[in-house]
Amino acid sequence: MKILLLEDNEKLNKTIKKRLELKNYNIDTFMNGKDAYKNITEGYSCFILDINVPNIDGIKILKKIREFYKEVPIIIISGTVELEIIKQAYDFGCNDFLKKPFFIDELEIKIEKLCNIKKETIFFDKNCFFDFKSSVITMNNKEFRLTKKEKLLLNLFLSKKNQVISYEEIENYVWENSFASLESIRSLIRRLRKIIANDYIKTIIDTGYVFKYLEK
């Protein structure tokens, strides 16, 4: 799925892009409205727009998009608390609004809902499977509900199964670019290993981990 992201905060722009690419979405990012405006007809399945950006603001781009696409989902992300601006966004056809700061999880959920993306149940083996929708792992008929960080870690492993994932990658994805000590990462790994009893998570000394798994 192809998504246009307009966000002029470089760090947030990169964080959103990285997270959505792990979902196998194709993300085109822009940091000013003029460049985004030129590209709105390039066949996007979803638009994510900040309002207060250089050159052309997100509301004007929203109006222009609706001239070409009546049904494509548009999500506004903004720090504004002005009700009149939020009302304008909905009046001109935005489907949902996220006020900054927000968890990237929230954005992912809105994209999945608006674009009707179906979650799958992932089977590790006949006795162990993960339900994305409920964030529950079932192991030998016993259910374990994952915390947010446990779920993010498992999502990262599943998106890069059988690949080495560094400590830095885990820190950036699970802690959303905030600092995480090596011990915090190891503690999270230990918790997930207790839930998934089979030895899927392999340690790569001085580097990180790999999730050894063949799809069933």
pTM for the structure as a whole: 0.65
The CATH 3.40.50.2300 portion of the chain extends over 2-114
The CATH 1.10.10.10 portion of the chain extends over 121-211
What is the domain class of 2-114 according to CATH? alpha beta
User: For the domain 121-211, what is the CATH code?
Assistant: 1.10.10.10
Average pLDDT, the chain: 89
Phi-psi region of 98 (alpha: psi -120 to 50; beta: other; left: phi over 0): beta
Helices (H), the chain: 10-21, 33-38, 58-68, 83-91, 104-114, 148-159, 167-174, 182-195
**Least trusted range by pLDDT, from 88-97, 104-113, 131-140, 144-153:** 131-140
Residue 1 vs residues 23, 57, 103, 106, 115: alpha-carbon distances, Å: 10, 25, 21, 18, 9
Structure tokens that stand for 170 in this block: 């885990």
Q: What is the pLDDT of residues 88-127, one digit of tens each?
A: 899 999 999 999 888 898 999 899 889 876 667 888 888 8
Residue 215's pLDDT band (cuts 50, 70, 90): low
